[in-house]
Amino acid sequence: MDSLPFSQASENNKLPIHQVLVRHLVSRCSLLEIGGGTGQHAEFFAEHFPGLIWQSSDVPSNIELLNLRIAHARLPNLPLAISLDVNETHWHCGSFDAVFSANCLHIISEQSVENFFAGMDKCIHKDGLLLVYGPFKYDGEFTTESNAGFDVWLKSRNPVSGVRDFEWVNKLAQDSGLTLVEDSIMPANNQLLVWSKL
Ligand SMILES: C[S@@+](CC[C@H](N)C(=O)[O-])C[C@H]1O[C@@H](n2cnc3c(N)ncnc32)[C@H](O)[C@@H]1O
């Protein structure tokens, strides 16, 4: 359907992301997606992981758009998305085997990134996973010239946005009881970081 929300980037990255997710999600039953956007990831991954309940979410202002695609997909393991702003004091979302978020940490503010990781304390089961896709800096350096340009562009749109330091993000994850188990280099200068709650 032409009127559904669409992102070319999501279309391009869903297959490479799937290649990593398949190693981690096959035996998992429930997943919370944060910042579901157009719902393309939710639709594609719910279809490819039929044994996994894919609970997407987004800020209240994006829920209607996100649910257009989710309702259209009519998949038994893809319920309508719920409202979740990572800056809420209490996340009313329950607890999941895994949390997935793509292309959000460089959009939201540093304070929101801190709130995102603080929220992991309650929404991931013991032995659960956090999977985060997006661009990162390492040792304060961009991985590519293109990511340096992307950072400038992000900040011109919104000064609180920006490509995050891997080391800072990993420390926030550790403070939330998460241990890094994988850092995969992805196409288009992105990473897929996987943490486990041991
Ligand atoms: C660049 S989009 C990424 C969308 C989708 N995950 C993708 O990869 O195409 C960033 C998403 O973060 C969401 N977002 C922004 N602020 C947020 C917040 N405070 N809490 C939760 N999600 C937020 C936006 O609504 C949007 O869906």
pLDDT in single tens digits along all 198 residues of the chain: 678 999 999 999 999 999 999 999 989 999 999 999 999 999 999 999 999 999 999 999 999 999 999 999 999 999 999 999 999 999 999 999 999 999 999 999 999 999 999 999 999 999 999 999 999 999 999 999 999 999 999 999 999 999 999 999 999 999 999 999 999 999 999 999 999 998
Helix 40-48 vs helix 8-25: crossing angle, to nearest 10 = 30
Ligand 1: lining residues by beta carbon, under 6 Å: 7, 9-10, 34-38, 41, 58-59, 62, 84-87, 102-104, 107-108, 112
- The rounded Å distance from CA 67 to ligand 1 centre is 14
- The rounded Å distance from CA 36 to ligand 1 centre is 6
Strand pairing partners for 100?
A: 33, 131
Domains contained in the chain, CATH given: 8-197 (3.40.50.150)
pLDDT of 94: 95
- The rounded Å distance from CA 103 to ligand 1 centre is 7
pLDDT of 1: 64
- The rounded Å distance from CA 24 to ligand 1 centre is 23
Which residue's alpha carbon is at the smallest distance from atom 20 of ligand 1? 85
Which residue's alpha carbon is at the smallest distance from atom 23 of ligand 1? 35
Residue to substitute in 58, 84, 150 for testing ligand 1 pocket (most ligand atoms within 8 angstroms of CB): 58
- The rounded Å distance from CA 42 to ligand 1 centre is 13
Which residue's alpha carbon is at the smallest distance from atom 15 of ligand 1? 108
